[in-house]
Structure 1
Amino acid sequence: MHFKYGYGRTYKEFDINDENILMELRQNHVDIKLTGADEVKRALDNPIGTDRLSKIIKPGEKVAIITSDITRPMPSKIVLPLILEELREAGVKYEDITVVFALGSHRKHTEEEKKYLVGEDVYNKVQCVDSDPSDFVHMGVTSRGTPVDIFSAVAKADRRICLGNIEFHYFAGYSGGAKAIMPGVSTRAAIQANHSAMVKNEARAGAMDDNPVRLDIEEVVQFVPIDFILNVVLDEKKNIIKAVAGHHVHAHREGCKFLDSLYKVEIPQKADIVITTPGGYPKDINLYQAQKALDNSKHAVRDGGIVILLASCTEGLGEEVFERWLLNADSPDSMISDIQKNFELGGHKAAAIALVQKKAKIYLVSDLEKDFVRKLFMEPFDDISEALESAFNELGQDAKVLLMPYGGSTLPYVKA
């Protein structure tokens, strides 16, 4: 069978014998009724687990609306006007509303970026601020030892509304829900304490009930109550195809179920060889971006198998701390043990790659220098056919291959 996958701004073509193909993962078909603002309005009219937002908030209360920063695809400019309509219906004045961009550990925005994220109309009506990890209120400590240190504008608000998009997250299970608070508006020390559990087996994409990172995130809400959430699921073109509103757990879980129905794909068994790709530019511009497609592949490859990652990485590794961790490591094992002792954001993605390397060999088809790739504990290839030939020589000519052309989105699982 012939395949043609995105690679940088071009593509790579290759062939695999039909008898070697286990399956090619594609997203499931889901009927979409409403999209965009219409779907957001539907969700606000039908909240899950709470009253309508306009019935929850009272006039005179200070309201913090926490939304994503510019590194996330959350379409705040579509959602916020509808949230403000609900608040106005409740009698809330614009001067009592603050939009807080949840920076986590990311850089601050320019004023132009803030305006771009929320739209000029919202920007001119309400105060829009970045979270500031140096300006926080200590509100307690979770049972797992995470300090609940929350940006003061959020901690001191009478009401909190959290916005976000839901997608698979490689160690928190899913994005969205209470993640707007932790890590969104938390201090670096709090984030590091929470994220340090990422090395545990239960901290994995698509896992919720036993996931120590997600459970810790949601315990934070006991100290910092969330009154309402509005979360969206986006398609590949960043259009809203599903919205959920209401309770921070019940509504969030409904959104996660929808995401599962779209992108969680059952596979008959784990494969000897997995070919995964972010899908070309801009998702494969560097290894930091391509890591998500690599991480999802670990759920499809057998122990001792081979993952072939197709990612051009024209801009190299892509993040300074990530690069330092990868290039200074003695082995994948050392990265895993080091992240447990001294968690560092950026280093956590290097450790995530190391966790895949503990399970399977990684062949990297990229534009990176071969000796440089070897320093990353990966085997370098210029061409996918060459990588496949090497994998078959190592694992046998009857090895089964699973293909993930949308590796960053699709989550494979073997039914128990």
Structure 2
Amino acid sequence: MVECWLPYGETEVHVSIPLREFLGVVEPKIGEVVRDVEAAVREVAERPLGCEPLSEMSEASTISIGVDGGLPPKAIIQALPGLLDVIEAGRGLEGVSIIIGLGLRTRGVTRLLELIRRGLPRGVELRIHTAQSEVEELGRTRMGNTVEVSKPLIEGEVRILISQFHPDPLSGFKGPHTALIPQLSGFKAIEMNRGLYHQGSTGLGVVEDNPILMDSWDALRLMGIDASLLLVTDHRGGVVDTLYGDAEAVWDKALNDYGDIYSVEVESADIYILSPGGGRFDFDLYHSLWALRALRKPKRGGRIILVAECGEGLGAPGLSKLSGVERLSELRRRYMLGGEVLHLLRSLQRSMRIQLVSALPRHLAEPLGLTVYGAVNDAYEDAGRGRVAVIPYALSITP
């Protein structure tokens, strides 16, 4: 038997697979991480790509730093002091505010906020933004979507974003644009942006002609950002590189230098056992289901076992209000947030059986056609025999 471990919330769970049926574990092979992130941030902030050094920007009377709250907590805690050191050396920290963008997430972040607050110098204001927080409407993108941005972020004379470069199931790769949508935007803006799922090519690593990506960048340009700190992150939450400068310049460089490091080949299998990648991704069902995008062309008649804690529930209204809808055309017509990932789920369920290992209550999962199991081995035993591929970090690969 082969013992495989998969991330599950803040812990791991295992499954035992007969050697003769085991195809292997699919995960990216990424190089070494940055040992001293704080020092690396201080260094790149003074030799930026396409904008002024941070020490020159810090002469402004107010500085707003928007942070992608979906970053690995350790990366946030390591990176923030580097920026603040440069700002403090030039002007002190009065008038500096940090806004942690949590987007659709409203629960389960207490520990993260406590850790960040503990490491902040006195005088720095820490604020939280969710999709229900106060926003300022700035206009519309070329696709007609509303741009709603965290009001405290807009109020800064200088605006800086801390974001990550990492695969994204909707915009292809994360970056400054995903720090804005969904993390620092209002609910309406997020819902409209995600609705573009039905209007073009999207997916993990899909950049060309991606309507969600294009719309997000339109929104960011309307908002106006003075600089972006971009952290290239790996599947385990480590920081591979730090880039600082003009938002588009740093994202273009990251895409050029690191766009291929997440690439893997997913073999054809009868059974796929996959995890979104642990607590960064599996806090609710809406975000967890996007892990299914790691499978480009799964085999008809196959089985998928999704291992995701989902301790914060469904995560989007469409997963409950549209749960009884089976027709794909009807899901598009009646779109609301959550309907796009339900469309993905229903598409796969036409030819495959999908099982869920989760803490999600059965009464929430079963209307979606998902059978809930308490252990991976139980789900695997119920899946029957066949060749098995294990994908422990499904939202950190580009298949």
**Considering the TM-score relative to the shorter chain, is it more than 0.5?**
yes
| Counterpart-to-counterpart distance in 2, 1:97 and 1:292 | 36
- Does the CA-based 8 Å contact 1:63-1:157 persist in structure 2? yes
Task: State the one-letter code of the partner of 1:184.
Answer: Q
- Does the CA-based 8 Å contact 2:51-2:246 persist in structure 1? yes
| Counterpart residue number, 2:106 | 107
For residue 211 of structure 1, report the CA deviation from its aligned partner.
Answer: 1.0
- Does the CA-based 8 Å contact 1:73-1:238 persist in structure 2? yes
For residue 190 of structure 1, report the CA deviation from its aligned partner.
Answer: 1.6
| Counterpart-to-counterpart distance in 1, 2:383 and 2:53 | 55
| CA RMSD, 1 decimal | 3.7
For residue 12 of structure 1, report the CA deviation from its aligned partner.
Answer: 1.4
Structure exhibiting the larger radius of gyration computed from Cα positions: 1
Q: How does 1:264-279 map to 2 (within 5 A)?
A: 264-266=263-265, 271=268, 273-278=270-275
For residue 213 of structure 1, report the CA deviation from its aligned partner.
Answer: 0.7
Change beyond 3 A, Cα 1:96–1:379:
closer
Q: Which of 14, 18, 26 is the equivalent residue of 2:17?
A: 14
Q: How does 1:187-226 map to 2 (within 5 A)?
A: 187-226=186-225
Question: Taking structure 2 as the reference length, what is the TM-score of the superposition?
Answer: 0.80
| Counterpart-to-counterpart distance in 2, 1:51 and 1:374 | 54
For residue 225 of structure 1, report the CA deviation from its aligned partner.
Answer: 1.1
Task: State the one-letter code of the partner of 2:88.
Answer: R
Q: Which of 376, 381, 393 is the equivalent residue of 1:406?
A: 393
| Counterpart-to-counterpart distance in 2, 1:287 and 1:111 | 20
| Counterpart residue number, 1:357 | 349
For residue 265 of structure 1, report the CA deviation from its aligned partner.
Answer: 1.2
- 1:96-138 CA-to-partner distances (Å, cap 9, x unmatched) read 222122233333899986452243433x221222237563333
Q: In structure 2, the residue corresponding to 1:88 is in which secondary structure? A: helix
- Does the CA-based 8 Å contact 2:162-2:179 persist in structure 1? yes
- Does the CA-based 8 Å contact 1:362-1:379 persist in structure 2? no
| Counterpart-to-counterpart distance in 2, 1:186 and 1:314 | 23
For residue 223 of structure 1, report the CA deviation from its aligned partner.
Answer: 1.7
| Counterpart-to-counterpart distance in 1, 2:146 and 2:72 | 28
Q: Which runs of 5+ in 1 are unaligned?
A: 393-399
For residue 7 of structure 1, report the CA deviation from its aligned partner.
Answer: 7.9
For residue 81 of structure 1, report the CA deviation from its aligned partner.
Answer: 1.6
- 1:206-256 CA-to-partner distances (Å, cap 9, x unmatched) read 122311111111111332111111121334543323222112122123334
- Does the CA-based 8 Å contact 1:317-1:323 persist in structure 2? no
- Does the CA-based 8 Å contact 2:276-2:288 persist in structure 1? no
Q: How does 1:379-394 map to 2 (within 5 A)?
A: 382-389=378-385, 392=386
Change beyond 3 A, Cα 1:378–1:233:
same
Q: In structure 1, the residue corresponding to 2:97 is in which secondary structure? A: strand
| Counterpart-to-counterpart distance in 2, 1:402 and 1:110 | 32
| Counterpart-to-counterpart distance in 2, 1:309 and 1:189 | 32
- 1:129-169 CA-to-partner distances (Å, cap 9, x unmatched) read 22375633332211101112323322232221001223222
Q: Which runs of 5+ in 2 are unaligned?
A: none
Number of equivalences: 388
- 1:360-380 CA-to-partner distances (Å, cap 9, x unmatched) read 413326478999876433578
The answer to whether residue 179 in structure 2 is matched with residue 180 in structure 1 is yes
Q: How does 1:8-407 map to 2 (within 5 A)?
A: 10-15=13-18, 17=20, 21=23, 24-32=25-33, 34-55=35-56, 57=57, 59-69=59-69, 72-74=71-73, 75-89=75-89, 91-107=90-106, 114-122=113-121, 124-131=122-129, 133=132, 135-257=134-256, 259-266=258-265, 271=268, 273-278=270-275, 287-288=285-286, 290-296=288-294, 298-299=295-296, 301-302=298-299, 304=300, 306-311=302-307, 318-319=314-315, 321=317, 324-325=320-321, 328-331=323-326, 333-334=327-328, 337-338=330-331, 341-344=334-337, 346-357=338-349, 360-364=351-355, 366=357, 375-378=367-370, 382-389=378-385, 392=386, 402-407=389-394
Task: State the one-letter code of the partner of 2:59.
Answer: P
| Counterpart-to-counterpart distance in 1, 2:108 and 2:352 | 39
Q: In structure 1, the residue corresponding to 2:59 is in which secondary structure? A: coil
Change beyond 3 A, Cα 1:374–1:51:
same
For residue 274 of structure 1, report the CA deviation from its aligned partner.
Answer: 4.9
For residue 409 of structure 1, report the CA deviation from its aligned partner.
Answer: 2.2
For residue 67 of structure 1, report the CA deviation from its aligned partner.
Answer: 0.7
Q: Percent identity?
A: 17
Q: In structure 2, the residue corresponding to 1:264 is in which secondary structure? A: coil
- 1:251-304 CA-to-partner distances (Å, cap 9, x unmatched) read 12333455544322145xx625351321887676875564243231x22525x3
Change beyond 3 A, Cα 1:47–1:315:
closer
- 1:331-383 CA-to-partner distances (Å, cap 9, x unmatched) read 2x35x643553322x4544344234435x413326478999876433578834
Change beyond 3 A, Cα 1:35–1:239:
farther
| Counterpart-to-counterpart distance in 2, 1:230 and 1:325 | 38
Q: In structure 2, the residue corresponding to 1:131 is in which secondary structure? A: strand
